[in-house]
Amino acid sequence: MRRLWAAAALLLVAAVAPGWQWPQDTGFDPPPVPAGNAMSAAKVELGRRLFYDADLSSDGTLACSSCHEQRHGFADSVATRSGVGDHAGKRNAPGLANVAWLPRLTYADPGATSLEIQALTPLLGENPVEMGMKGQEAELARRLKADACYRRSFAGAFPDARITLPNIVAALAAFQRTMISSDAPYDRFRRGEAAALTGPQREGERLFRTSGCSSCHAGPHLTDAAYHRLGDPAPSDAGLVEQTGLEEDRGRFRTPSLRNVAITGPWWHDGTATSLEDAIRRHPVSLADRDIAALVAFLHGLTDERFRTDPRLARPDTACGKRL
């Protein structure tokens, strides 16, 4: 399954169904979309319901939203979250703002290059076990087929109308592509609204550019999506080497996006940084306390309140005209 999606991900276009429109006020070009998974309102709405449905986990206790909460910028509020059956978590759940544009989607798996591929990791993964559906794909389809509304929704979203794992992850990916954050004070500042950032935030923005932060937290999505090593590798998590087998990749992790970073804590790939100040001090750059305070002020200017409260991204109240 993963190989099929990897092949499909090579054919990236701005695929949309008739009537679909990307928002025009983001300042970003439309994101790449696999040719086999065109955007449509029906598919997005189906993916939204699936994202909040704990039936996607083996014991019915975890939904995607359990680890990706809107009020936290679709990140988690704990260092690592246990999977079904109390399987220990391994890494902190990152925020999902603007994931549609990111070429790499996890901390240390270079194969996770599309949202369709990435969705298979929490659903089927075994290191660690998260939603615990490996080997239970037929049961997942059976659960959803038992709901007449899901049957209607899949029929409206997909030409084959089938409730299958590929269609489930396609719908989840379509919904996540609508998680667009572009209205933080920093965004308005970049669009020419000088007063959008406070004086300390503007000083922090200057330091962010001049002290080297922006070399890795680069571009409009504030990540170069590359792998870096900061400090000595922790024995509990070898990082990228687990996938590549290359010793030089030990302790290397993908640069996280800083969008909404002030509300996505705790920080670091393992959630061990309990404050923004702590996270900044772990970087190999010498900064005075006043400079760290300015950087923290700037990072608060990356919070997009419209994103964290957008009802179109929230748990749906109804489906097929009935309350959930």
Rounded average pLDDT over 104-114: 96
Could you tell me the pLDDT band of residue 178, with boundaries at 50, 70 and 90? very high
- Decide: 175 and 39 in contact? Cβ < 8 Å: no
Are residue 104 and residue 170 in the same domain, yes or no?
Answer: yes
Q: Could you report the per-residue pLDDT of 221-268, keeping only the tens digit for each? A: 999 999 999 988 888 899 999 999 999 999 999 999 999 999 999 999
| Nearest-angstrom CA–CA distance, 52 and 74 | 12
Nearest 10 degrees: Cα torsion 34, 40, 44, 47 = -60
Sign of the Cα pseudo-torsion (277, 280, 281, 287, in order) = negative
Q: Do 82 and 169 belong to one domain?
A: yes
Q: How many domains does the chain have?
A: 2
- String of DSSP letters for 103-151: S--SSS-TT--SHHHHHHHHHH-BTTBSS--TT-HHHHHHHHHT-HHHH
DSSP secondary structure, 54-89, as one string: GGGSTTS---HHHHSBGGGTTB-SSSS---GGGPPP
> According to the model, what pLDDT value does residue 312 have?
98
Whole-number Cα distances in Å, 185 to 191, 192, 197, 285: 10, 11, 6, 26
Same domain, 264 and 295: yes
Check the CA dihedral 124-174-316-323 and report its sign.
Answer: negative
Assess whether pLDDT exceeds 50 at residue 4. no
Regarding whether 65 and 168 lie in a shared domain, the answer is yes
* Confidence at residue 231, expressed as pLDDT on a 0 to 100 scale: 84
Residues 223 and 288 in one domain: yes
Task: Give the integer Cα–Cα distance in Å for 127 and 55.
Answer: 21
Residues 262, 145, single domain; the answer is: no
pLDDT digits (tens, 9 = 90+) for 49-72: 999 999 999 999 999 999 999 999
- HSE-up of 184 (CA within 13 Å, CB side)? 26
CA-based torsion, 124, 125, 131, 136: positive or negative: positive
**What pLDDT is recorded for position 281?**
97
Neighbours of 56 (CB within 10 A): 23
61 and 41 housed in the same domain: yes
70-87 residue pLDDT tens: 999 999 999 999 999 999
Q: Are 57 and 170 contained in the same domain?
A: yes
Burial-class residue 152 by CB neighbours within 10 Å (0-12, 13-18, 19+).
middle
Residue 119 sits in the same domain as residue 131: yes
What is this structure's pTM? Answer: 0.94
Say whether both 95 and 175 belong to one domain: yes
The CATH number for 239's domain is 1.10.760.10
Query: In terms of domains, do 57 and 205 share one?
Result: no
Q: What residues make up the domain containing 251? A: 185-303
Kindly state the average pLDDT of the residues 161-188. 98
- CA atoms of 166 and 299, how far apart (whole Å): 37
Q: Are residues 206 and 295 in the same domain?
A: yes
Q: Does the pLDDT value for residue 11 go beyond 70?
A: no
HSE-CB of 92 using CA atoms within 13 angstroms: 23
Ramachandran sector of residue 86 (left: φ over 0; alpha: ψ -120 to 50; beta: rest):
left
Percent helix, strand and coil across the chain, each rounded to 5? 40, 5, 50
